[in-house]
Amino acid sequence: MDIQELRTRNPDHWMRATAIRALALDAVAAANSGHSGMPIGMADVATVLYSKHLNFDASRPDWADRDRFILSAGHGSMLLYSLLYLCGDPEITLDEVKNFRQLGAKTAGHPENFLAKAIETTTGPLGQGIANSVGFAIAEESLRARFGKKLIDHNTYVIAGDGCLMEGVSQEALGLAGRYELGHLIVFWDNNDITIDGKVSLSDRTDQVARFKASGWHVQEIDGHDPEAIDAAIVEAKKTSQPSMIACKTHIALGHAAQDTSKGHGALTNADQNDAAKAAWGWTSGAFDIPAEIKTWWEEVGARGAAEREAWETRFAETSAARQKEFTRVMDGEAPKKLSAVVKALKKQVSETAPKVATRKASEMALEVINPIMPETIGGSADLTGSNNTLTGDLGVFDTDNRKGRYIYFGIREHGMASAMNGMGLHGGVRPYGGTFMAFTDYARPAMRLAALMKTPTVFVMTHDSIGLGEDGPTHQPVEHVAISRATPNTLVFRPADAVETAEAWEIALRQTATPSVLSLTRQGLPTVRLEHKNANLVEKGAYVLAEAEGKRQAILMATGSEVAIALAARDLLQAEGIGTRVVSMPCWELFEAQDESYRRRVLPPAGPVRVAVEAGVRMGWDRWLCGERGSAKKSGFVGMESFGASAPAEVLYDHFGITAEAVAEKVKSLL
């Protein structure tokens, strides 16, 4: 690449873009860690995007109708931080830039959405940003249909690298965006032909242009260092009704000794080489120093959208008060006041009629009363609609000709679904939930973890949650997946015992604003165990006494989900022998942990009674409650799974693996 030619072809543009380059180079060198080459390579694209197209107001990064910018290639975080600082973002100051990658800085190694408002999503794990962006674009379509163009009409822009496109989740994202014709989604592919291990061709020779076209995308190929070409391509991309991919041929670490090499991907910290790069760029300012003229220009870019934003505020003020209130409510992620009432009514009805239903069906029953009063919910399933029970009557199906539809057929794409749901939640204004089998949390794991890290309250509806699914066998039978979800910080894992607990769990999940929920639900029918109606949401305590011991309390049985009924049956056996037995239902460990000591002590009184836990999963974690919480190792036991499951009818499997009331009672007696 002839830097001289680039410098002279469009000198103003060049110096403005090079401000990004210089900041990235300086910040990475100061931190002695990070990724210099990508911001340097994509500075031209970013400069044209921000200065000519991105509709935003740097001073108000939370403006609801801003264009979203997602840096899927999150390792190039200094590109984003440089842009934000240059444009005058109130949170990403020069000090933050200088503090890149240091403790407490908003300029973390990879962009973290919860550190600054202008950071739309957390990226770094490759492919997540492009998959999130599908959710952003769906949310935009949905809200545009609901609230009209005057309130919602914006684009989602993404920069994705070769790594993003090699990750399988990108194919799921491509397929979804193509199928649903998400025309407001525009992806720039940083086509620099470099990965960490070497040239892209070392491990991939996919024709990405052909691949995107195969999934229904509009594709253009440009020189990613030519500002006119970048501008023209964005103009074109905005016109099409298809999602758009702009393949930008770029040079990683442009103008640096490491240009076009995998070394250029990482931290460029050699002072001489960095000085030489700056000289080649024609950049004469000191470290972190931006010439006033260039900073002023960038600040004007940052303020460019102020008028648009103000016009939007005027339009917003002109809409009815009710509409304003509703818009604000959903954008804030606030559940409607009616939620408690409909859940209570359902609980009452369930306690009275005591149906025997699977908790997946119970979940549908809850959604049937919730969805009508929460127009912000968007449901879906990864091709298991009838099994996950996620579709309710009134939702309508989201499609190219029905953007108001609130149900999404995600296809066989658990990972893409979960990432898209995260994107919807991050966009705001909609509240996504989606289903698959609990065993396939494995496929969705990267996005489920990110939901927790990003503090977005996605609801994962995971059905068929144990050997109780029967004949499909061990590939489909989760045994470790409840433990996996519980091991993840900032995640509420609900394993409700019946339709009452399921409704309570839904209410809690939908009240969250910063924590995702996993609903672990059965395929098989379960009796109602909450036969006495209570207005209070007992699941909110995490664990509670479901059945008290009669006579002297000699044993405490702890159980979740489908095993609560087994614990109750075991209690019957034990009580018949005069062994006073309490049953504690523990639908949500995390909420129980959050209770104060005195409550926890009331539910699980210190040593004395034998404690036996029963759950059709692995023991991992249960020792915390069996003996870690003032219990005793000698007087505690566990009835559950020690291996993978097997293929057979559910009842046969429960017998085969010894998860029965008899086994629980025997275990208690052996410990007494």
Binding-site residues, in ranges, read 35, 75, 124-126, 162-163, 192, 194, 265, 360, 387, 440, 464, 472, 476, 523
Q: How many CB atoms lie within 10 A of CB 76?
A: 30
438-467: which residues touch a second copy (CB under 8 A)? 439-440, 442-443, 445-446, 449-450, 452-453
505-534: which residues touch a second copy (CB under 8 A)? none
Show contacts of 619-628: CB within 8 Å, 24+ apart: 620/480, 620/483, 620/487, 621/483, 621/486, 621/487, 621/589, 622/558, 625/558, 625/586, 625/589, 626/558
CB of 417 to a second copy, least distance (A): 10
> Could you say which of 620, 658, 669, 671 contacts a second copy (CB under 8 A)?
620
> Could you say which of 145, 257, 545, 627 contacts a second copy (CB under 8 A)?
627
Does 368 contact a second copy by CB under 8 A? no
* Nearest CB to a second copy, comparing residues 103 and 317: 103
For residue 64, the one-letter residue type is A
191 pairs with which residues across the strands? 249
Of 219-227, 296-304, 471-479, 545-553: span binding a second copy (CB under 8 A): 471-479
Does 105 contact a second copy by CB under 8 A? yes
> Could you say which of 95, 204, 275, 352 contacts a second copy (CB under 8 A)?
204
> Could you say which of 652, 658, 669, 671 contacts a second copy (CB under 8 A)?
652
CB of 262 to a second copy, least distance (A): 9
CB of 219 to a second copy, least distance (A): 11
Catalytic residue among 181, 414, 507, 615: 414
> Could you say which of 601, 624, 662, 672 contacts a second copy (CB under 8 A)?
624
* Nearest CB to a second copy, comparing residues 9 and 213: 213
Does 135 contact a second copy by CB under 8 A? no
144-163: which residues touch a second copy (CB under 8 A)? 162-163
> Could you say which of 92, 258, 484, 616 contacts a second copy (CB under 8 A)?
484
Find where tokens 């006041």 sit: 337
Number of residues in contact with a second copy under rule CB under 8 A: 116
CA-based torsion, 630, 603, 542, 414: positive or negative: positive
> Could you say which of 305, 333, 416, 457 contacts a second copy (CB under 8 A)?
416
CB-side neighbour CA atoms (13 Å) of 257: 10
CB of 377 to a second copy, least distance (A): 19
Q: Locate all alpha helices (DSSP H) within 148-207, ordered by sequence.
A: 162-166, 168-179
For residue 121, the one-letter residue type is T
Binding residues for thiamine diphosphate: 75, 124-126, 163, 192, 265, 440
For residue 290, the one-letter residue type is I
Percentages helix, strand, coil for the chain (3-state, rounded to 5) are: 45, 15, 40
Distance CA 661, CA 52 (A): 68
CB of 113 closer than 8 Å to CB of 121: yes
CB of 206 to a second copy, least distance (A): 5
Does 628 contact a second copy by CB under 8 A? yes
Does 258 contact a second copy by CB under 8 A? no
CB of 538 to a second copy, least distance (A): 25
Residue of 499, 490, 566, 506 lying closest to 540 (CA atoms)? 506
Does 101 contact a second copy by CB under 8 A? yes
Torsions phi, psi for 65 (to 5 deg): -100, 20
> Could you say which of 372, 605, 608, 621 contacts a second copy (CB under 8 A)?
621
> Could you say which of 9, 52, 150, 179 contacts a second copy (CB under 8 A)?
179
* Nearest CB to a second copy, comparing residues 259 and 488: 488
- In a 10 Å sphere around its CB, with 0-12 CB exposed, 13-18 middle and 19+ buried, how is residue 642 labelled? exposed
What pairing do the DSSP bridges indicate for beta strands 377-381 and 407-409?
Answer: parallel
Distance CA 165, CA 212 (A): 10
Distance CA 5, CA 242 (A): 35
* Nearest CB to a second copy, comparing residues 10 and 385: 385
Does 647 contact a second copy by CB under 8 A? yes
CB of 329 to a second copy, least distance (A): 29
**CA distances (Å), origin 235, targets 28, 240, 316, 496, 613:** 33, 9, 27, 51, 62
> Could you say which of 282, 336, 355, 473 contacts a second copy (CB under 8 A)?
473
377-396: which residues touch a second copy (CB under 8 A)? 381, 383-387
211-240: which residues touch a second copy (CB under 8 A)? 211, 213-216
Distance CA 123, CA 167 (A): 13
Does residue 140 have an active-site annotation? no
Torsions phi, psi for 124 (to 5 deg): 145, -60
Does 193 contact a second copy by CB under 8 A? no
Say which residues have a Cβ less than 8 Å from residue 611's Cβ, sequence separation at least 6: 555, 556, 557, 558, 604, 625, 626, 627, 631, 632, 635, 636, 637
Distance CA 603, CA 548 (A): 10
Binding residues for substrate: 35, 265, 360, 387, 464, 472, 476, 523
Does 633 contact a second copy by CB under 8 A? yes
The contact pattern for a second copy, residues 61-100, with x = CB under 8 A and - = no contact, is -------------x--------------------------
The H or E element containing residue 548 is none
Of 121-129, 270-278, 531-539, 553-561: span binding a second copy (CB under 8 A): 121-129
The H or E element containing residue 518 is strand 517-520
Q: Which residues are catalytic?
A: 414
